[in-house]
Amino acid sequence: MNRSVQTVDDVMELLDLLFAEQADRWTDRGGAAWWDTFYTDRDRSVPFFRSAPDESLVAWHDEGLLPIGPGTRVLELGCGPGRNAVWLAQQGAEVDALDLSDTALTWARERADEAGVSVRFVQADIFAWPDGHEPYDVVYDSGCFHHLPPHRRVSYRSLLEAMVRPGGHFALSCFAAGAMGTQAPDVDLYRTGSLAGGLAYSDDELRTTFDWLDELALRRMHAQPDDSATFGEPFLWAGLFRR
């Protein structure tokens, strides 16, 4: 069918396809195969390969801004090798953790087993996560949002609207403008078909994107030494919001 674009979902899938075609050409971060390769060598010097949760996540929990305990239902978007999902489960939370990469999830399951905790790790596109789930108390995203093409911000809001319960929390870390990632305007990303390794956001852009939520905290992550029990890099924003 030549005229296959009939719905908003069709538009999203068409734009996804165009980015995916360019991703092959630009070796951009476009899909599961790229991320499987990325996570294959566990000894690479990648800061977030350490088995340590985000310092902001731990700090907000300690400060009482983000209550997590037995019975708290958490959804993590783009969990990678499971460092945050395992910590969340150690606090007693019931955790569903999604990622495109089966290689990353294999590593994450090993970490959960070593820690003696139960996490439901699922290989999935976050936008294909099945309907019918009850909203979560907490939705957490550490590094997924800044790898989404601009049109998927629309889908991302719809996802959060469905998955964050009223009174629940959403938290994320993402590239900070001027520190990491591209600051190219959205229109230029479509001209090149590349995300240039990830999108950088200013604090104002994040506040505009998530202005339908109540902001509890928005700051740069605090740098953490390699031997710290937590992970932190100052090129990342740390944001906490409540619905």
Does residue 217 fall inside a structural domain? yes
pLDDT of amino acid 22: 58
- Categorize the per-residue pLDDT at 154 as very low, low, confident or very high, splitting at 50, 70 and 90: very high
- Residue with structure tokens 């010097």? 45
Q: In whole angstroms, what is the distance from residue 103 CA to residue 108 CA?
A: 9
Question: Could you tell me the two tokens for 202?
Answer: 């200013």
Kindly indicate the confidence band of residue 73, based on its pLDDT and cuts at 50, 70 and 90: very high
Question: Could you tell me the two tokens for 58?
Answer: 């731990």
> Which position has the token pair 């296959």?
4
b/e map 118-141, b = 16+ CB within 10 Å = ebebeebebbebeeeeebbbbbbb
Q: Is residue 3 part of a domain?
A: no
Query: Tell me: the pLDDT tens digits for 165-208?
Result: 999 999 999 999 999 999 999 888 888 878 888 999 999 999 99
Q: What is the pLDDT confidence band of residue 90, given thresholds at 50, 70 and 90?
A: very high
Domain-located, residue 203: yes
Q: For residue 227, tell me if it sits in a domain.
A: yes
Q: How does the average pLDDT of the chain come out, rounded?
A: 89
Arithmetic mean of pLDDT, 83-96: 97
Mean of pLDDT values over 215-240: 96
Structure confidence at residue 28 (pLDDT): 42
Whether residue 162 has pLDDT greater than 80 = yes
- The pLDDT tens digits of the residues spanning 1-42 come to 566 778 888 888 888 877 765 554 333 445 777 777 877 777
pLDDT of residue 27: 37
Contact 139, 111 (CB under 8 A): no
Tokens of residue 113, six digits: 């087993």
Give pLDDT, residue 17.
Answer: 79
- Identify the domain containing residue 78 by its residue range: 8-41+52-242
137 has pLDDT over 70:
yes
Q: So what's the pLDDT on residue 26?
A: 34
Answer whether residue 1 is part of any domain. Answer: no
- For residue 46, being part of any structural domain is answered with no
Return the CATH number at 31. Answer: 3.40.50.150
pLDDT-wise least confident of 36-50, 127-141, 221-235: 36-50
pLDDT reading at 221 higher than 80: yes
164-175 and 136-142: which strand pairing?
parallel
pLDDT of residue 201: 97
Query: Does 110 fall in a domain?
Result: yes
Please say whether the beta carbons of 88 and 66 come within 8 A: no
- Residue 135 belongs to some domain of the structure: yes
The predicted model scores a pTM of 0.90
Tell me the pairing of strands 73-77 and 120-123: unpaired
**CA 61 centroid distance within chain:** 19
Number of domains in the chain: 1
Q: Check residues 110 and 125 and name the one with the higher pLDDT.
A: 110
